[in-house]
Every structure is written in C-alpha cells, then in structure tokens.
Amino acid sequence: MENKKSLFSRLPVISQLKKSVGLQRGMLVAGIVLTLIFLLTAALAPLIAPYGATQRFDLTQAAPSSAHIWGTTAGGYDVFSRTIWGAQTAFIVIVVAVALSIFIGVILGLVSGYIGGWLDRILVVVADAIYAFPTLLLAMVMSIALSQGRSDMWSGIFAAAISITVVFIPQYFRVIRAETIRLKAEPFVESAIVVGASSVRIMARHIYKNATRTLPLIFTLNASEAILTLAGLGFLGFGIEPSAAAEWGYDLNHAQSDATAGIWWTGVFPGAAIVLTVLGLTLLGESMNDLNDPRLRGRKKAKKNGAQKQEELVEA
C-alpha cells in the first residue's frame, strides 16, 4: 500500500500539487480544473452534444433557444454541438501532434547528443533552421503541402497534426540533446562504456530515463500552443472543413461577419472555448515549470519560514 501511495505521489501533477502553496497552488488548481473540463468534454462529446458536428438545420443564425441553447450559425450548424465536438477535434490533434513530436524529437536528440560529430552538426543546423521560421507560417506551408485539397475528417486532422509536429520537433530535440550531452559525462554512463555496453543500450537504459524528466512540463506548454496553432490554421482557412469535423478556429473566422450584425453567439462560445482551454493548459504548464525549479521553491520556503519566525516573535 505504501509503495502504491509513493508511486501516486510521484506523478507529475500530484507531486507539484503537494509542493505548491498560496497563489501558486491556486494557479495550479485552476489549470487542473480547466484542463480536466477540456478532457472530459472531448471524451464525452457524443453524450454531451445534442447534435452531430456536421448536422445542418434550415434555421440559420437563430438566437439561443430551447432547441439550440447557444443558437445556430449562418451555415445552419448548432453552436453548442460544434463547440463540444471541437474539443474532441482539438484533443485528437494535440495527442497525435505532440506524440509524434516527442517520439521523433527524443530519438534525434539522443542520437545527436550522444554520437556527436558531423551528424550532430547537421541535425542542429536543420533544427535551428526550422525553429527560425514563424510557427504559424510553417504550419500553413506544411498544411498546404499535406492536405492537397482533401477535406475529410481524418485527412484534415492528420494534416493539421503533422503541420504542428514539424513545428514542435526542434523544441524536444534541443532539450533532449542538451541533457544527453550533460549525462554523457556522468560517471554511470562512463561505467557502462567501460563494461562494454553498446551505444543503443546506453542511450535506451541509462540516458533516456534521466533526459526525459522535463517532458511533462514541455508537453503541457506545447499542448496550449498546439491549440492556438490549430485555431490559427482554421481561422485562416487552412484547417478542417466544417462539413468534415468541428473546429473552433474555422467557426470563429465565419463568425466575424455575424458580429457586425449583432449576432454575438456564433463567435463568443468557440472563442471562449479556445481562451479557457489555452488558459488552463498554460496555467498547468507554467505552475509545474515553476515548482520544478528548486530556486523558486527555495524562495517560497524561505518566505514561509521567515513569516513563521515573525509570528513567533510577535507572540513572544
């Protein structure tokens, strides 16, 4: 039982929650709550949404009513259903994009940092060249190259995910490469080399586990950036077509003309979904990042101890 409790307490979010105090804990809890709402909405979309994501009605731009609680769009789509299904689309794109980014970035970072030489120089130059491009512009170029005019759900999601993957690979590559170079000089790695362990075994058994400890932090921050990139692609018309799946950026783009006519409901709800989801993931990621920094934790402990001593002196 004690082992299970200790394993549970070492989970990324749980361990940070136990370390947090005051405002930092409030930010972390707010991030957890908003992120959980997003995840539950994506998972339970078929049960929550009263209509399908691509189901159209003759009633267009209708105000919120009992039949359509958040109204309808100019295309005849139910706003509430589109917003709920949009969470599922965003979740799938995030999982595919970030999973591929981590897989490719970690492998390249391990190989580049451990082997070094000309291979390391080439990979670093390529990663820096990709990283230098504006994120959204690079995603647009990749989306155009991959989608090739197809607008069905899975090809659209795959194109958006791959577009975001290309943007994120250099981030994981640089982090893992730096950690690999540092760990390569550690005594336990040198001992493994002395006993005759192969390079693949050293990277897989000794370096990988230690070099990937910061990935949960990068993942949460990249997840929020992935949502913004997906929404940007949809807003500019390079995302998923509305006849294929629901996507917040596309719906927000087509709500611009409605706003001038006083039809607020077509843009407020998908826009709020983007803001709240990105806010939740950002609060979660930034809080975990701060709590993972021993210097910040040290300051907070020092302040807390100082406050306790002052209280003791006042009481005395």
**Contacts of 190 by beta carbon, 8 Å cutoff, 6+ apart:** none
Residue 306 has pLDDT above 90, yes or no: no
CA angle 251, 257, 261 (to 5 degrees): 120
Phi-psi sector, 293: left (phi>0), alpha (psi -120 to 50), beta: beta
Residue 84 has pLDDT above 90, yes or no: yes
Higher pLDDT, 150 or 251: 251
Among residues 285, 133, 158, which one has the least CA distance to residue 223? 285
Residue 1 has pLDDT above 50, yes or no: no
The pLDDT of residue 41 is: 93
Higher pLDDT, 297 or 127: 127
pLDDT band of residue 82 (cuts 50, 70, 90) is very high
CATH number of 22-49+80-294: 1.10.3720.10
Whose tokens are 């990709």? That residue is 130
CB-based contacts of 300-309 (< 8 A; 24+ apart in sequence)? 300/21, 300/22, 300/24, 304/21
pLDDT band of residue 39 (cuts 50, 70, 90) is very high
The pLDDT of residue 314 is: 47
The pLDDT of residue 307 is: 47
